[in-house]
Amino acid sequence: MQRPRQGAGTPSMTATVPRELVHRAAVAETLLTGWSRTGPDRFQVSAQWPRAHELHVSSDRTSYDPLLVVETVRQSGTLIAHTEYDVPLGHHFVLNEFQVETFRRHLAVEALPAELTVEVAFTDVRYRGTRPSAARYTADVLRAGERVARADVAFTCLNDAVYRRLRGEPSRSSAVPLWPGLPATGVERVSAADVVLAPTDASDRWQLRVDTAHPVFFDHPLDHVPGMLLLEAARQAAWWWTDGKRAPVAYHARFHRYAELDSPLWIGLTSEDGTELQVVAEQGESTIFECRVGTAGR
């Protein structure tokens, strides 16, 4: 597939960008509608958010979830890496760090789908030969000129041969039982199928529920637990811990290792002041993921 390009000043498309460019199988999960280069290592990406979504719109359809911002920023970096830095399709992107702060007053669902502009600046691109092997970028997400969020992201990209050497032959299907989850209302979910935390004997520790048939978290087959599922676990842990009195509005996540599908993964939470929470995911003897979650009163 030849990667399309857009020049500076090119208006947004009236349809989504090719789904392959944002690593999505479903067109419905593709949020971006266009892009252009605005300067050296600077780009403008357009996006549209639906008024209803299984995960990323509140059950009363009044507000967008901050994790929709995360997915939009992730897709923006992936799109630019492929189209403007010539990272080949088929390369694997590995999240290293994702920091985002959102502003809830601009996350309201209105009478039309939200139209967003994402101002992306690649600040540190590292090459192996002629191909980028890692990058960091910032993203300002704007809606009608108002800042919805600011993000800072670092990722590594691997060709398939390197990825296979790194991963070996891991399982692609979960062998871990899908234990009953927490009550859906306690984690701001409508459906029990969207609950990703199963209770344990400890009030601050849960087992991650990994449903490889979930249409959003596993939009396409994966050989590991995706980063968005780990972030959703942090989100749900924050809602549960604060008894629904505080909403997650900011995340600072560090991804240390791949989370395997065939081994239990444990989510733990600590809090010093009740407003900022620390979530850690562990598997075996390894720390997989750490995330500081900022919250705000409802």
| Domain boundaries of the chain, sorted by first residue | 19-166, 170-297
Cα-based distances in Å from 47 to 44, 72, 180, 221: 10, 7, 36, 25
The percentage of the chain sitting over the pLDDT mark of 90, rounded to a whole number, equals: 86
Closest CA to 233 of 215, 207, 254: 207
**pLDDT for 8 beyond 60:** no
Whole-angstrom Cα distance, residue 187 to residue 240? 5
pLDDT tens track for 25-39: 999 999 999 999 999
Whole-angstrom Cα distance, residue 66 to residue 181? 22
Cα-based distances in Å from 279 to 9, 23, 42, 238, 264: 42, 27, 33, 8, 16
- Residue 239: the pLDDT is 97
Query: Which CATH code, of 3.90.1150.200, 3.10.129.10, 3.30.565.10, 3.40.50.720, is assigned to 19-166?
Result: 3.10.129.10
Whole-angstrom Cα distance, residue 249 to residue 101? 6
- Residue 59: the pLDDT is 87
* Residue 9: pLDDT band with limits 50, 70, 90: very low
* Residue 171: pLDDT band with limits 50, 70, 90: low
Tokens representing residue 122 in the block? 């690649």
pLDDT tens track for 119-159: 999 999 999 888 899 999 999 999 999 999 999 999 999 99
**pLDDT for 14 beyond 80:** no
pTM, 2 dp:
0.93
pLDDT tens track for 38-73: 999 999 999 999 999 999 999 899 999 999 999 999
**pLDDT for 7 beyond 70:** no
* Residue 12: pLDDT band with limits 50, 70, 90: low
Domains 19-166 and 170-297 agree in fold: yes
198 close to 182: Cβ distance less than 8 angstroms? yes
Q: Rounded mean pLDDT of 216-230?
A: 95
- Residue 66: the pLDDT is 98
* Residue 5: pLDDT band with limits 50, 70, 90: low
Query: Which CATH code, of 3.10.129.10, 3.30.420.40, 3.30.450.40, 3.40.190.10, is assigned to 170-297?
Result: 3.10.129.10
Cβ count near 26 (within 10 Å): 11
**pLDDT for 201 beyond 60:** yes
Average pLDDT, the chain: 93
251 close to 98: Cβ distance less than 8 angstroms? yes
